[in-house]
Amino acid sequence: MPRTALTMRVLVVGGGAREHAIVSALARSSAEVYACLKNRNPGICRTAKVFELIDETNVPKVVDFAKKSGVELAIIGPEAPLEAGLSDGLRASGIPTSSPSRSAARIETSKSFMRDLLEKRKIKGAVKYALVNSMDELGPALARLGMEVVVKPVGLTGGKGVKVWGEHLTSVQDIEAYAKEILSNKIGGSASIVIEEKLVGEEITIQAFCDGKRVVPMPAVQDHKRAYEGDKGPNTGGMGSYSQSDGLLPFLKRSEYEAGVEIMSDVVKALRKEDAEYRGPLYGQFMLTREGPKVIEFNARFGDPEAMNVLSLLKGDFAKVCEGMASGKVPKNEAVFAPQASVCKYVVPEGYGTKSLAGEEIKVDEQGIAREGALLYYANVNEKDGRVYTTSSRSVGIVGISGSVEEAERIAEKGIGHISGRIHVRHDIAKKEMLDAKVRRMEMVRRGEL
């Protein structure tokens, strides 16, 4: 798009499929994109006016690039640069930023801060929990909470540090061994653990555009974190996700969605009271239980893959939405979504979740994917001499959009048929059998049978 007086120069930080979706949504709107990323993502590098390969957590370098490029706005995709204080660095250089400060991002980067905030401000959706900083504190915590718990490092682990009773932990010895491992290896960056009651229900994601005061919600999405079909295997960053045309999910009632949005709104208000104004996309992950949505975690950014669902459906001008988050007033008339269903499936390297086959070439027939009507978002791959190579992380996100989840799923699958190599895909995600099983399961949860 030629730059006009109305075109804004926007910096996007990060090189995954979430950031490719951000870049695509900006490119469709009134923005000229500048990108900082650590891997050569072909989708981002091709769309950006200028890109630079940099360590995304190197605040001075990213700020230098932003200043040199004359960007007027910035948005940060992943959590690590938020924790490194990149938003603060950009704002200090006079660049409005649609991502939270390091202090506000503690809602994600510190699970103890998040749990303490919900408790202190009496926000709904809180769960019973205990903070454990030494093995001596573990016994009393388990005496209070019981054995049916979830054990999490306090800091960031890319969604992979959580162990759940009945799945990864089946005895008190398992809990002790994992607690010891977190404490001695400082998993997540510190010797601190959160032990939480185990919640039973269906997991849902609600994302919202936040401007410090208000939250403007996006359609609900369901992600699938387990590596293998049937929700088995290790937790991953997410294998695929879907959303429904009415913004709900097959087992989610509007009143429950609204209860989730209210929790998020209360969190944004609470952060303001803590002098940590939250500006940027906020991600709420909830367990839909018999008593309504309970908080599993918050992310201080879009979800990955959930960003691909919602941004593919966004009809408004995304640059204006981002500008509104940064300046303190999200334009509601721009935060509108097509009333369609979306299905995103991730293509990952063989072994992803345990030991990924990195550095392998994969073939991506972009035209074939486009012919099927599917959308393509490159993730953590590297392009070299026109070829695409895997890294240890996810490779490509393929999205189908249609009136029904069933049809969107078919489109996504047809798109995936144009990718080859030593790859793995969860074909079961968003298939009718799976959705029906979730509806049945949620009915059992509501009846108190699970």
From the list 159-167, 177-185, 317-325, 346-354, the region that binds ligand AMP by CB under 6 A is: 159-167
Binding mask 69-108 for ligand AMP (x = CB under 6 A): ----------------------------------------
How many positions of this chain bind ligand AMP (CB under 6 A)?
A: 16
Which one, 303 or 415, has the nearer CB to ligand AMP? 303
Return the HEC string of 266-287.
HHHHHHHHCCCCCEEEEEEEEE
CB of 150 to ligand AMP, least distance (A): 4
- Cβ contacts of residue 183 below 8 Å, gap of 6+? 133, 134, 135, 191, 193
Which one, 97 or 207, has the nearer CB to ligand AMP? 207
- CA-CA distances (angstroms) from residue 419 to 64, 403, 409? 37, 25, 16
Q: At 158, phi and psi to the nearest 5?
A: 60, 30
Which one, 277 or 428, has the nearer CB to ligand AMP? 428
The DSSP H or E segment spanning 416 is helix 405-416
- Neighbouring C-alpha atoms within 13 Å toward the C-beta of 18: 23
Residue 424 β-bridge partners: 348
Residue 199 found at the interface with ligand AMP (CB under 6 A): yes
Residue 225 found at the interface with ligand AMP (CB under 6 A): yes
Q: Are 161 and 193 in contact (CB under 8 A)?
A: no
CB of 243 to ligand AMP, least distance (A): 17
Which one, 225 or 320, has the nearer CB to ligand AMP? 225
Site residues for ligand AMP, 227-286, by CB under 6 A, read 235, 285
Site residues for ligand AMP, 282-321, by CB under 6 A, read 285, 287, 296-297
Q: Is 375 helix (H, G, I), strand (E, B) or coil?
A: strand
CB of 197 to ligand AMP, least distance (A): 6
Give residue for tokens 């000229």: 32
CB of 273 to ligand AMP, least distance (A): 24
Which one, 115 or 410, has the nearer CB to ligand AMP? 115
User: Exactly one of 159, 260, 281, 353 binds ligand AMP (CB under 6 A); which one?
Assistant: 159
Which one, 11 or 150, has the nearer CB to ligand AMP? 150
Which one, 152 or 424, has the nearer CB to ligand AMP? 152
User: Exactly one of 50, 131, 164, 358 binds ligand AMP (CB under 6 A); which one?
Assistant: 164
Which one, 176 or 297, has the nearer CB to ligand AMP? 297
Both structure tokens of 202: 């269906």
The DSSP H or E segment spanning 326 is helix 318-327
Nearest Cα neighbor of 425 from 249, 224, 242 is 224
Residue 175 found at the interface with ligand AMP (CB under 6 A): no
User: Exactly one of 174, 176, 203, 406 binds ligand AMP (CB under 6 A); which one?
Assistant: 203
From the list 193-201, 381-389, 422-430, 436-444, the region that binds ligand AMP by CB under 6 A is: 193-201
The DSSP H or E segment spanning 182 is helix 172-185
Residue 150 found at the interface with ligand AMP (CB under 6 A): yes
In single-letter form, the type of residue at position 349 comes to P
Nearest Cα neighbor of 353 from 251, 224, 164 is 224
CB of 25 to ligand AMP, least distance (A): 24
CB of 198 to ligand AMP, least distance (A): 4
- CA-CA distances (angstroms) from residue 113 to 131, 208, 298, 345? 10, 20, 11, 32
Q: Are 63 and 94 in contact (CB under 8 A)?
A: no
Which one, 95 or 149, has the nearer CB to ligand AMP? 149
Cα angle value 242/245/248 (rounded, 5°): 70
Nearest Cα neighbor of 377 from 21, 29, 23 is 21
Give residue for tokens 């393509």: 376
Which one, 284 or 349, has the nearer CB to ligand AMP? 284
User: Exactly one of 198, 213, 214, 427 binds ligand AMP (CB under 6 A); which one?
Assistant: 198
Site residues for ligand AMP, 112-131, by CB under 6 A, read 127
- Cβ contacts of residue 35 below 8 Å, gap of 6+? 11, 12, 13, 15, 19, 23, 44, 45, 48, 50, 51, 52
Contacts to ligand AMP by CB under 6 A? 127, 150, 152, 159, 162, 164, 196, 198-199, 203, 225, 235, 285, 287, 296-297
